Structure 1
Amino acid sequence: MLHIEDLSYETGGRTLVDAVTLHAAPGETVGLVGPNGSGKTTLLRCVYGTLKPSAGQVRVDGTVLDGAKERARRIATVPQDGQSAFELTVREVVAMGRSPHKKFWEPDSAADRLLVDEALARVGVTDLAERPFPGLSGGERQRALVARALVQQPRLLVLDEPTNHLDIRYQLEILTLVRELGTTNLLALHDLNLAAYFCDRIHVLRTGAVVASGTPAEVLTPDLLAEVYGVRAEVAVHPATGAPTVTYLPGPRTPHATTAPASRPSAEQKTSAM
């Protein structure tokens, strides 16, 4: 269970996150959407601990996590585009996911190595295992970082644009994998159609504040897209998936009414649609 309560973050006299409150139930996938600069990444950094909130708190299973190691045992992070200054191999980067569960300089066990091999295979990078991580393409790095998060065996998975640099196949495969893990997932996405399909609930951010929350069907409306993104769009139920589908329209932004989806597709419907 994730609880974010009245969380704010200020720097240089600017408020980047403004009194955000949101919750994610165990096993739920919750999406953050909003224009560039709306505060999505800053909010996620406050959740996984690289930034200290100016106000409010983050609780996981009712506990405010103290210390980097305790936080890393509960929360795994997939950043937008992880870089490495060291010539580590992909296998070594993925194996770092076991660090929160080990003593300092404790060697990898056979169980650790098995977890690494399974994670590499699960995200489709086994053939890259011995290659230097910095030499990978953006999409290859992203998949390796997802593998590292899997090895960490977290309760909460926080992903910042996990589909960055990925082609369509891997976008669908990574987000399908995330939903199947059984973890509680909080992710920022630019692609509203992916958010509509894979997220149980969506929170829309604008200038650091949450301006709409609910199921994709409740949130993704032409009026909201005109107000928050400044675009014209139609929203309809996709006949194959049952999920809301956004079609963007050129021209001046004027809210264009259309029929909103009546209900969310079930997990079974999503699986069969894939």
Structure 2
Amino acid sequence: MAIICFLLRAKFIFFYAHFIGFMENILEVDSINKSFGEKKILTDVFLRCEVGDVIGVFGSNGSGKSTLLKIIYGTLQAENKFIRLNNKVTNEAYKIKNGIAYLPQQHFIPTNLTVQKVITLSINPNKKDEFLRDAMINSIIDSKIGSLSGGELKYLHVKLILFSEAHFCLLDEPYSGISPIIAALINHQIAAQSKTKGIIIADHHYAYLLEIATKLYLLKDGVGKFIQHQAELITSGYLKKGMLTE
């Protein structure tokens, strides 16, 4: 009887610890206000992301998509913001170890390095074999960054961010300037890594984003909200009738 009680207690402790650890991996964003001069960009924006979420951020040009990601990451100040990452309130989320990885629109890898060198410097050795099980990566492994095509470079950038140790990834315009084939490869990587991460994607290529997003978030007139159905992208005025295929 004592052994049974011990085993039950051990099992409870294991699952409780696992549950608590999972629950800690939450990104909460609230009360974000941002203006540029007299123009109000974001007003009391709220967003919550958990491990397993792929949140697609939609909005017209100038709606504040990129601004929101930079504020969350901590590299752009706001008039007001509340950000809590893994139960820690922070103004500089990028400083929290294994907290958030951010893909900016600009390329950030030195052009004189080889792909192999970048992988060695960037990827945890325990993940390297998984990273390299990729036909695209192996086709460019010996190439220098400066010789890659735009699509190859974007794919490498996105995959490096997704394979980081961070619990959350912010991807700004990951589909910009790439072919449908590369977009499909990127979405495959997002789907695979979202099993252990929360991912927020801002992009104006709505079709690629709709293919992978598990939650839809719309920014309009400075206000953000989660929407339940793709059709709301039309009724809100973001998309025109006939632009959805569902």
Letter in 1 for 2:241: A
Question: 1:223: which partner in 2?
Answer: 235
Question: 1:213: which partner in 2?
Answer: 226
Which residues of structure 1 form unaligned runs of 5+?
A: 99-111, 236-245, 248-260, 262-274
**Alpha carbons of structure 1 residues 114 and 61: separation in structure 2 relative to 1, 3 Å:** closer
Whole-angstrom CA distance in 1 between matches of 2:180 and 2:187: 11
**Alpha carbons of structure 1 residues 206 and 67: separation in structure 2 relative to 1, 3 Å:** closer
Whole-angstrom CA distance in 1 between matches of 2:42 and 2:121: 30
- Determine whether 1:32 maps to 2:46: no
**Alpha carbons of structure 1 residues 120 and 185: separation in structure 2 relative to 1, 3 Å:** same
Report % sequence identity.
23
Question: 1:178: which partner in 2?
Answer: 190
**Alpha carbons of structure 1 residues 32 and 85: separation in structure 2 relative to 1, 3 Å:** same
Whole-angstrom CA distance in 1 between matches of 2:135 and 2:106: 16
- Determine whether 1:50 maps to 2:62: no
Deviation at 1:120, TM superposition (A): 4.2
Whole-angstrom CA distance in 2 between matches of 1:97 and 1:73: 13
Structural RMSD (CA): 2.6
Question: 1:101: which partner in 2?
Answer: none
Which residues of structure 2 form unaligned runs of 5+?
A: 1-25
Whole-angstrom CA distance in 1 between matches of 2:35 and 2:119: 33
Whole-angstrom CA distance in 2 between matches of 1:207 and 1:113: 45
Letter in 2 for 1:3: E
Deviation at 1:68, TM superposition (A): 6.8
- TM-score, structure 2 length as denominator? 0.76
**Alpha carbons of structure 1 residues 207 and 133: separation in structure 2 relative to 1, 3 Å:** farther
Question: 1:3: which partner in 2?
Answer: 28
SS at match of 1:93: helix
Which residue of the other structure, out of 194, 200, 203, is the alignment partner of 1:189? 203
Contact map agreement 1:123 1:174 (CA 8 A) in 2: no
Question: 1:128: which partner in 2?
Answer: 140
- TM-score, structure 1 length as denominator? 0.69
